[in-house]
Amino acid sequence: MTDKKFIDDLEKNIKSTIRDYHLLSKTDNIVVACSGGKDSIAVLYLLKKFGYDVSALILDLEIGNWSKKNLDNSYAFCDEHDIKLHRICAKDELGFSIEHLMSCVKAKKAVENCTVCGVIKRWLINKKARELGAGKLVTGHNLDDEAQTVFMNILKGNPLLSAGMGPKSGVGAQDMFVQRVKPLYFCTDAELKRYTVIMGFRILYAKCPLSGTVFRRDIKNCLDNFEKDYPDVKRNIVRKYLEMKPALARAQEDKEKGKIKRCSVCGEPARGDICKACEMIGLV
Ligand code: FES
Ligand code: ZN
């Protein structure tokens, strides 16, 4: 397929995801969670190109040179494309580094770095996006990410964990949560890599040096291998998941009796008395 046809198809795919799932409107104040990686840069570029009102929000984790390069690339990209970039620094927000938090949590619980990082990222980015008055928070999650998570939750024996996923996630009805949306939901990892290479964006393709979740990596390799022999395995997982999502969401609601509370420490939304982020911070 020519590059031109490939780009046209990818853009159509993203536009129809936005339209079919009612993800965004031209009047929304849209904040894009930007890591500096290929997915967030691609979605930032495309939303701006499609005429949406976007700004970028980067959480600087200060993980050595890797974070520095991603930050530099994000500033350069936003500068070139006239996009406002907001930066928050994990250390300023927490009072200690994310690496320190990871080591404290891991000393007391069997938790992977990416789990700690994921909880803290969601917590800080939701807070900051809300402060910025965001109507929608866009993330760069793609089809591979979603298929891996759905499959992981099944293998963990807890498919209900997937209840809140999908192209539009977060609990929109709760005003403390900024609605999270995923315009790249039906784009594969390989497509986004090809797109960003064709476009010549300055991107660091290397993974975070601390991301070592063995389970997710194994699932990724497993799905990549399956896909070689059974094309469309990932797409099928995601399609089937979307069909089942309403039933999963109902089962989840029954289990929680629809209750999202406020964390008694930070005031952010929480499933229990204390949110996951405060629980982890309490271990330092
Ligand atoms: Fe989260 Fe590295 S970015 S563990
Ligand atoms: Zn809290």
pLDDT score of 101 more than 50: yes
Assign domain 3-281 to its CATH superfamily.
HUPs (3.40.50.620)
Using the predicted structure, report yes or no on whether residue 174 has a pLDDT greater than 90.
no
- For the stretch 49-76, pLDDT in tens is 999 999 999 999 999 999 999 999 999 9
Centroid of ligand 2 to alpha carbon of 268 (angstroms): 5
Return mean pLDDT, the chain.
93
Whether residue 257 has pLDDT greater than 80: no
* 39: pLDDT strictly greater than 70: yes
Atom number in ligand 1 closest to CA 114: 4
The answer, yes or no, to whether any atom of ligand 1 lies below 6 A from the CB of 213, is: no
114 pocket-lining for ligand 1 (C-beta < 6 Å): yes
Look at residue 258 in the predicted model and tell me its pLDDT: 59
Instruction: Report the alpha-carbon distance of residue 95 to residue 117 in Å, rounded.
Output: 15
Report d(CA 74, CA 165) in Å as an integer: 27
Q: Rounded mean pLDDT of 127-134? A: 95
Show contacts of 72-80: CB within 8 Å, 24+ apart: 73/36, 73/41, 73/202, 73/203, 73/204, 74/34, 74/36, 74/41, 76/202, 77/36, 77/41, 77/44, 77/45, 77/201, 77/202, 78/34, 78/44
Domain residue ranges of the chain, discontinuous segments joined by +: 3-281
* Residue 202 in this model has a pLDDT that exceeds 90: yes
For the segment 191-209, the average pLDDT, to the nearest whole number, is: 95
Is pLDDT of 173 > 90?
Answer: no
Q: Count the neighbouring beta carbons within 10 Å of the beta carbon of residue 201.
A: 18
Q: Would you give the end-to-end CA distance of the chain in angstroms?
A: 52
Interstrand relation of 85-89 and 54-60 (parallel, antiparallel or unpaired):
parallel
Using one digit for the tens of pLDDT, what is the confidence trace for 151-169?
A: 999 999 999 889 989 999 8
Q: What does the pLDDT read at residue 112?
A: 86
Give the pLDDT band of residue 170 (cuts 50, 70, 90).
low
Distance of CA 243 from the midpoint of ligand 1 (Å)? 31
Q: Separation of 155 CA from ligand 2 center, angstroms?
A: 29
Check residue 260 and give its pLDDT: 74
**pLDDT > 90? residue 90:** yes
Q: Please give the distance, rounded to the nearest whole angstrom, from the Cα atom of residue 9 to the centre of ligand 1.
A: 31
Residue type at 120?
A: I
Is 101 near ligand 1, meaning CB less than 6 Å away? no
Pocket test for ligand 1, best of 210, 217, 280 (most atoms within 8 A of CB): 210
- Among 63, 66, 106, say which to mutate for ligand 1: greatest number of ligand atoms within 8 Å of CB: 63
Residue with tokens 């965001």: 134
Amino acid sitting at position 41 = I
Q: Nearest bound ligand to CA 216?
A: 1
Which ligand is in closest contact with the Cα of 101? Answer: 1
What is the per-residue pLDDT for 172?
44
Smallest-distance ligand from the CA of 278 = 2
Check residue 209 and report its DSSP letter: T
pTM for the predicted model, two decimal places:
0.93
pLDDT at 9 over 90: yes
